[in-house]
Chain A
Amino acid sequence: MFYDLHIHSALSPCANDDMTPNNIVNMAKLLKLDVIAITDHNSVSQQAVLHKVAKRKDMRLIYGIEVQTTEEVHILCYFQKLDDCLVFGKIINDNLIPIKNDIRYFGHQLIMNENDEVIAEEPKLLLNSVLFTVEEVCDLAHQHCGSFVLAHVLDRNNSIITQLGFIPLHLEFDGIEVKSVIEKNKILQTHPWIKDTVWLFNSDAHYLTDINDAVNQISQEELNRLWRNGS
């Protein structure tokens, strides 16, 4: 299955306002992707509508969110069930540092319906940290049958390597997101104890044109392994 499991919708302040539910799903169709996940910063408010749109257009959708921990590390959490995702998302949103979004600096945080009409705007700034550590987010995701994936691990901003120097030895992550095989090899070289994890090559798209072409494939079996620690 061709995949891209890290795409931002217009709900993320940093994403382009053209990242509407229909545009994303249509673009994924055009690119011949088989499965996608839309992971907005610290919010799941667009997931239910995305579910409807994806279903209508016969696109497989995994529910997701990109959480920013207290240490300012970005984590992708994935869910197989919408309900689990919504419950987890509410806990994240309730524990997000309460600062109002200033659209002049950060951009709009648009919530849309299945016709791409803006129905609300998230008032709280989503580009912020929650009051949970990396380990706490990991436990919380697993408690809600979710998966815990270290996002863009070698990026200069908000990666676990930048923030915490290296991947903690006892962290029970389910996957690692990298940009290239070179990055994957770098991580393996510097973390020889990592033997068995799921490697994801995602786009982290903030614009429609950034979404991955159908180049990265994952088997159903490998995809299932993302949830091996969820209870």
Chain B
Amino acid sequence: MRVKDIAEKTDWRLFADDNSKENEVQGAFVGDLLSWVMGHSSPKQAWITVQAHVNVIAVGVLREFACLIICQDSQLSDDMIQQAKEENLPIFLTDMSAFDVCRKLIELGV
């Protein structure tokens, strides 16, 4: 499953360039405490969070996530979108809860 496949099969808003849409998604990780996420996540996961601080991008790059999924329309700043673009890290934005996002990803076969 690639980022572009998730984009096709959901109505989640995607901020990404064509290149990063090819990122392969292997599993997912849910967490809002960035120190915890840094310590427990794995590369190529989709990271599901409501945390929308610009530090999320740094952690996302550090942990080599396939993409971020920001839940419940948590407010993305322009700074965050800009930095994610520079770092080639795709961001999905959805009004769904983390639970519903997980259910959707499982449905899609992630």
Contacts and interface: CB of A to CB of B under 8 A. Distances in A.
A129 to B, nearest CB: 12
Contacts, number: 31
A100 B33 CA distance: 25
B58 A163 contact: no
Interface residues of B, number: 13
Nearest to B37: A165
A162 B35 contact: yes
Contacts of B34: 162-166
Contact of A133 (B38, B53, B59): B53
Contacts of B36: 162
Contacts of B33: 162-163
B6 interface: no
A166 B56 CA distance: 10
Interface string B32-75: 01111110000000000001011100110000000000000000
Nearest to B54: A168
Contact of B53 (A134, A161, A162): A134
Interface in B73-99: 77
A71 B51 CA distance: 7
B10 to A, nearest CB: 26
Chain A interface size range? 10 to 19
Nearest to B39: A165
A165 B53 CA distance: 11
Contact of A166 (B37, B55, B77): B55
A171 to B, nearest CB: 10
A5 to B, nearest CB: 25
Contacts of A163: 33-35, 51
A71 B54 CA distance: 11
Contacts of B38: 165
Contacts of B77: 133
Interface of A: 71, 133-134, 161-166, 168
Interface of B: 33-38, 51, 53-55, 58-59, 77
Q: Which 3 A-B pairs rank lowest in CB-CB distance, beginning with the nearest?
A: A165-B34, A164-B55, A162-B35
